[in-house]
Structure formats: C-alpha cells, structure tokens
Chain A
Amino acid sequence: MTEAMPLVALVGNPNAGKSALFNALTGARQKIANYPGVTVERKSGRIALSDGRPVELVDLPGAYSLSPDSLDEAVTRDVVLGKLEGHRRPDALVIVVDAGNLDNHLRFTLELIALGLPVVVALNMIDLATRDGLELDPAKLSAELGVPVVPTVAVRKRGLDVLIETLEPQLRIKPVAALPMEERKILTAKAHKIANAVIVKETATRQWTRTLDKVLLHPLAGPLILFGLLFVMFQSVFAWSEAPIGWIETGIAALSDGVASALPNGFIRSLLIEGVLAGVGSVIVFLPQILILFLFILILESTGYMTRAAFVMDRMMASVGLSGHSFIPLLSSFACAIPGIMATRTIMDQKDRLTTILIAPLMTCSARLPVYTVIIGAFIPATSIGPGIGLQGTVLFGLYIAGIVGAMVAALFLRRTVAKGAGSSFLIEMPRYQLPLIRDIAIGLWQRAWVFLRRAGTIIFASTIILWALLSFPKVPIGSPMTQSEYSVAGRIASGLAVVTEPIGFNEKIALALIPAMAAREVAVAALATAYSVDAADEDATAMALGDRLAGQWSLATALAFLAWFVFAPQCISTIAVAKRETNGWKWPAFMVTYLFALAYVAAGITYWTARSFGL
C-alpha cells in the first residue's frame, strides 16, 4: 500500500504574505476548489521535496487567532484542529509571519505551535523589515519558539529551498498532544517579549507607507485620487479592449467562413454557424474587458491600496447603513457578482453582510456589458455632446450610475426593514504598500480567464445549442405567413410569455431571449443573435451584425426599456446559487430574485411609457 501524500498547510495572519509564498512555492499549478460544506475557496498545489517526493500544500485563509471572527477564520481553525468534516488534518504547518510585525503575528504563532503539529516558521518579508530599519535574529526566534525558523522573501523567491529542506524532517515527526490553550493576555505578553528579544536593532528610517498614506488618506486628495483611479479603470476597460475585441471578432468570422465553405448547407452547418459560433462567439469577445477590469482590481488589492479605498469610502457607505468593508465586494461585483458575494465573508456584521449580498447584483457586472454595448451601438447615435465626451459613452455611464443609485436606495431600504440591526462597523488593518508582483497578478488573471472560458464553454454553449434547436424546429411550412422563429417551439413559448412582457415594450423575440439569459446575462445577446439569424433568409443577412438588425426592428422605446430591464434584473443563476450558499438557504435568494425582478419590470415599464410619451 502506498502512503498518502503528506498534507502541509500554510497558515498565518492576513497580510503576512501567505498567498505570495504559496504562489512562489507552487507556481501556476494550483487547484482551486471549495472546502467541504462551505464556499470558502481552497487553494492547493504540489511541491516536491529534495528527493522528489510530492507534498500537497494548502493555503489556509488568513486569521488573527484560533477564536474566529469570520467564516474564513473558522475554516482555518477547523482545518488545523482536524475538525473540518471531510478534510484531513495537515501533517505539518508552515506558519507565515511578517518579519516587520512580529509583536502581532507571534501571538497567533504561539497558539498554533501549542497545537502540537510539526511546524516550520517562515519569517517572511524580511527585506521589507530591513527597509524599515529592523534588524532581526532568526536563530534567537527559533530558540525562543522551540521550532525551526527560516527567513524568506516570497516575492523574490528567497529562502524557499531552505524552507522545503527544513520542512522535510518535520514530516517524519508525529504530532504530539496539544497544550492547553493559554489566556489571550498571557499569549500577547509572551509574543511581545519574544518580539523584543529577537529585534537586534531598530533604526528610524523613512517609512514609505506613512508618506504615501499622508496623500492617499488625505481628507480631500484621498477621495479625488480614488475617483480618478476608478474613472481611469472604467475608461481603460473600453479603450484598451477595442483592439483585442477586433482580433477575436476577425477570428470568429474567419472560422465561420471556414465552416461555411467546408461543410455542405444543412443541419450541422446551421448548428455550427448559427448556434455555436453566433452564440458563444458573441460572448467570448468580452473576455478582454473582463480581464482588464480584473487586472485593475488585482493590482489595487496586491499593492495594499484596496483597504485605503475602503477607508475613503467608509463614511459615504455609512450614509446608506453600510461600511467601507462593503466597498471591496461591491467593486469586485463590477467584474462579476459571484466573487463579489464571496468577498462579503470578510464583513463581520451579519446584517451588513446580508445587505451587501442583496445589492451586489445591482453593480453593473461585466456580463451586462455585451448587452449594453450591442443595444447602445445600435440605437444611440455616436455623436459628440462636448469636447471628448460621446453620447454613447455617456449613456453607458448613466447605466452604471443607475445601478449604483439603485443599490444605494435598496441598501437604505433593506437596512431599515429586513436587514435591520446594530449600526454598521468598520475596523480593518491597513497593510504596508508593496509593489505588485507580475507573477501573482498573472496567476490571478489566468484563474479568472479560465473561469470565464469554462462558463462560455459549458453554460453558454449548452444554452445556445438548446435555444438554437428550439428555434429551428419544427420547420415552418413553405408559404406560411409566420417566420421560422415564430413557428418554432421556442416561438410558441415566447408568445405565451409575451403577454406579460408586452406592457413593458418587449416583443416575442425579447421574451424568448430572456429565458436563456437566466443562465447568464450575456446569453441574451447570443440568444437574440441566434433568434434573428435563424430567420435570416440568405447568407448575407446572416452575416449582418446583430446591432444593425435590431436597429431596423425595435423602436427606441423598446431598446431603452431593454437596457433598464438589465440594470435591475437578477438574470444569472450562478449568482442566485452563490447567494443561496452564502446565506444558507433559499429565503434570501428568493427575496433577492423577487425584489430585483419587480424593480426590473417597473423600471422597464416606466422607461418604455416615458419614451413613448415623447414619441420615440
């Protein structure tokens, strides 16, 4: 019988550089899953010992102690205690401490050592400590703690070989019984004593973090810089993505032509071109925009600026009953509500957290961009309304603002009704500034791209094909006054739905597109593309861009109502599913879906009838 691969857990305070160490040790070969029973992300990877034996390394969520304040911290505690059902207890721990913050990090280290598991301490970010004028004695720390200590600089890959060498003998040691938990006060005193003993020399140096904070947290300059950054971020999403989107479009068109010339006219060719390429292709083009948005978020996070942004936003969020903690999840929700909702786990107050989850879908996620871009491109003239300000861009900006305002009003309302509780709170550690590491950003971006492509390859692919089939059969008899899409199975379902959607200006094809858009919003575009191309009589018409085709068939009032609908509609099953997991039940996701659909219906209706009254 072969022995199971040893499991080693990386554990430490938040901001100790744990993830950087994990990335440096495992490289891009990481597996992301969830811990059994909870949605906390579990990152694991493999490292090889000097004799080539593999070891599984798992990156536990950052924690301050074994008495958890949040769901993340609870997972860390349960794993190291071996109490998480369905997850084995690690054979050894690598405790990551920030060399520049020993007083605080050693308390958790002492708690962990007392558990009796074999341990190696990684004295991380030793270069930053030196930069800040601290001189430390690692041998002394090792003697005081009674465990091996290895100085590391994760971002420069320094000390990693020694760390693995030191870990090796620890894997042969059996865990011993845990010592009784000591009182927090005693642990703190011990931690301070050890920290003081280990610091050889401390010289005052210029501290970059302080200098930067003077500007970035300045009462006036701080918010100006934050809003400037956000403006550049959203501007870049459009400006930088133009070229790559063009390449993808050209590629898809070439593929479509290739299929058309290689296959005879018939079932397979129709499925490939009208179903797969028209559907999936119209979604893949948005990958560049999604990646640019995530690039900014990853950089803001890894430099340490994100907590400053939370600081700047806290008071404004407090006016609707939230706190700066909600800013980070809500900003992530502009890329996608799913990581946004998962990021709410760091919010300690449960009512705060619930409110943030309920309003996260109102932030304009990247899946809405395909819908907005197509409709705006088709119906809003590309005229200039001022120097450098286009009408199309302004409408898009207005849609983002509509989502934010909607979210703020909803938060205000929710905090006074269903999510009533003690006032929100704000309490956060602000880490030192760091230069982001290209490798860490690249790994983060690759993981997001993969998640998106997998979605496009599975959910979007499947729903596009099903929709194509429903639209293509049964075939309309020759000479019938009905079009193919009206005659098909899907058309018959849609004409039933249209009874409900006609009062808000949505025709049958729109009603039809809204069904598969439940799988993912961007499918609405794919669905409209498929619905209209199934009806196209000849090759030329198939090649016609969706926008041009819609411009000929929809009134402006309908187009605007369609946009208004998507500002509010909770059209994404994955978001609903993640809300269910994060709130432990169907009650809140059901509430979320109901209130968002009601908002969407009312908003679309008001938009439609207002536009109609202006004769649009």
Chain B
Amino acid sequence: MPDGEGHRLRSLGLEEGVGIEALHKGILLWKDPIAVRVGRMTIALRRKVAAAITCELAA
C-alpha cells in the first residue's frame, strides 16, 4: 500500500483501535469495492487496501 493511502485512511478515521463494521460488498459479480462503517462514517475502499488493515472480531 502506498504511503499516501495510509495517510488518507487515517484522515478518514481508520485509526488503530477503531471499531469497524462491514456494510457492502462489490457490484454485480465483482467483489470490489467494499464499504465499511468507521465510527460514524461510511468509507468506501478497495479490497487490496482493506487487506492491509488488521481487524479482530468484536466480542
């Protein structure tokens, strides 16, 4: 993932420790892009970038 993208992700609220929820997956037969809920925002991103984010299942 390019540096700029990491910076942008953080600007959009994707910080370490933030809770996220998957909302939408892909269009037609493609599984890309996806939309996730971060805090009170909805963010759209591609799977390639999403793969670089580590998440754990909330209890």
Decide yes or no whether B12 CB sits under 8 A from chain A: yes
Whole-angstrom distance from the CB of A487 to the nearest CB of chain B? 60
User: Is A213 located at the chain interface by the 8 A CB criterion?
Assistant: yes
How far is A307 from B41 in the complex, measured between Cα atoms in Å?
13
Chain B contacts with A in 7-59, Cβ cutoff 8 A: 7-13, 15-16, 23-30, 32-33, 35, 39-46, 48-49
Q: Is the interface of A mostly helix, strand, loop or mixed?
A: helix
* Contact assessment for A311 and B33 in the assembled complex, using a CB-CB cutoff below 8 Å: yes
Is A422 interfacial (CB-CB < 8 Å)? yes
Query: Could you tell me the distance in whole angstroms from the C-beta of B27 to the nearest C-beta in chain A?
Result: 5
Residues of B within 8 A of A426 (CB): 33, 44-46
Instruction: Identify A427's interface contact among B9, B15, B29, B41, CB under 8 A.
Output: B9
Question: Are B40 and A223 touching (Cβ within 8 A)?
Answer: no
The stretch of A99-107, A262-270, A548-556, A608-616 in contact with B is A99-107
- For the complex formed, measure the closest distance between the CB of B4 and the CB atoms of chain A, giving whole angstroms: 6
B24 touches A100 (CB 8 A): no
Measured between beta carbons, the chain B residues less than 8 angstroms from A430 are: 35, 41-44
Q: Which residues of the partner chain B approach A349 to less than 8 Å between Cβ atoms?
A: 4
Asked whether, in the complex, the Cβ of B40 is within 8 Å of the Cβ of A219, the reply is no
Q: Does A194 interact with chain B (Cβ within 8 Å)?
A: no
CA A316 – CA B28 in complex, angstroms? Answer: 10
Query: What CA separation (Å) do A428 and B33 show in the bound complex?
Result: 11
**Docked-complex contact B49 and A429, CB < 8 angstroms:** no
Contact B35 A217 (CB under 8 A): yes
Please determine whether B13 and A315 come into contact, CB atoms closer than 8 angstroms. no
Chain B residues near A184 (CB, 8 Å)?
10
Q: Is A101's CB under 8 angstroms from B41's CB? A: yes
Count contacts on B: residues with CB < 8 A to the other chain.
33
Interface residues of A in 335-349 (CB under 8 A from B): 348-349
Task: State whether A314 touches B11 (Cβ < 8 A).
Answer: no
Closest Cβ of chain A to B58, distance in Å, is 17
Please give the residue numbers on chain A whose beta carbons come within 8 Å of chain B beta carbons, in ascending order: 64-65, 67, 69, 100-104, 184-185, 188, 209-210, 213, 217, 219-220, 222-223, 307, 310-312, 314-316, 318, 324, 348-349, 422-423, 425-430
Taking a contact as CB atoms under 8 Å apart, the answer to whether A64 and B12 are in contact is: yes
A427 to B46, CA, bound (A): 7
- Distance between Cα atoms of A426 and B29 in the complex (Å): 18
Residues of B within 8 A of A210 (CB): 23
Instruction: List 5 interface pairs A-B (beta carbons < 8 Å), by A numbering.
Output: A209-B42, A219-B25, A314-B46, A427-B49, A430-B41
Please judge, given known A-B contacts A104-B40, A427-B49, whether A314 and B12 are in contact too, CB under 8 Å: no
Inter-chain CA distance A69–B45, complex, in Å, is 16
Structural contact, A100 and B42, CB atoms closer than 8 A: no
Are the CB atoms of B26 and A315 closer together than 8 Å? yes
The residues of B that contact A65 with a CB separation of less than 8 Å are 11
Measured between alpha carbons, how far is A210 from B23 in the docked complex, in Å? 9
CB pair A429–B12 under 8 Å, yes or no, is yes
Chain B residues contacting A185 (CB-CB under 8 Å) are: 15-16
Complex CA–CA separation, A213 to B46 (angstroms)? 17
The residues of A that contact B12 with a CB separation of less than 8 Å are 64, 104, 427, 429
Q: Which residues of A contact B9 (CB under 8 A)?
A: 427
Complex contacts, A101 vs chain B, CB 8 Å: 39-41
Selected contact of B39 from candidates A103, A307, A314, A318, CB within 8 Å: A103
Given A69-B8, A312-B27, check contact A427 B42 (CB 8 Å). no
* Residue ID in chain B nearest A314 by CB atoms: B33
Are B32 and A318 within 8 A (Cβ)? yes
Q: What's the Cα separation between A314 and B46 when bound, in Å? A: 9
Q: Is the CB of A311 within 8 A of B35?
A: yes
Given contacts A103-B40, A429-B44, 5 further A-B contacts (CB under 8 A): A65-B11, A188-B10, A223-B28, A315-B30, A427-B44
Contacts of A429 in B (CB 8 A): 12, 41-44
Q: A311-B35, A427-B12, A430-B44 are in contact. Are A213 and B25 (CB under 8 A)?
A: no
Q: With A and B bound together, what is the CA distance between A222 and B5 in angstroms?
A: 26
Asked whether A223 lies within 8 Å of B27 as measured between CB atoms, the reply is yes
Q: What is the minimal beta-carbon distance from A231 to any residue of chain B, in angstroms? A: 18
Q: Which residues of A contact B25 (CB under 8 A)?
A: 219
Specify the chain A residue showing the minimal Cβ separation from B24.
A217
A312, A315, A422 — which one has the most chain B CB atoms within 10 A of its CB?
A315
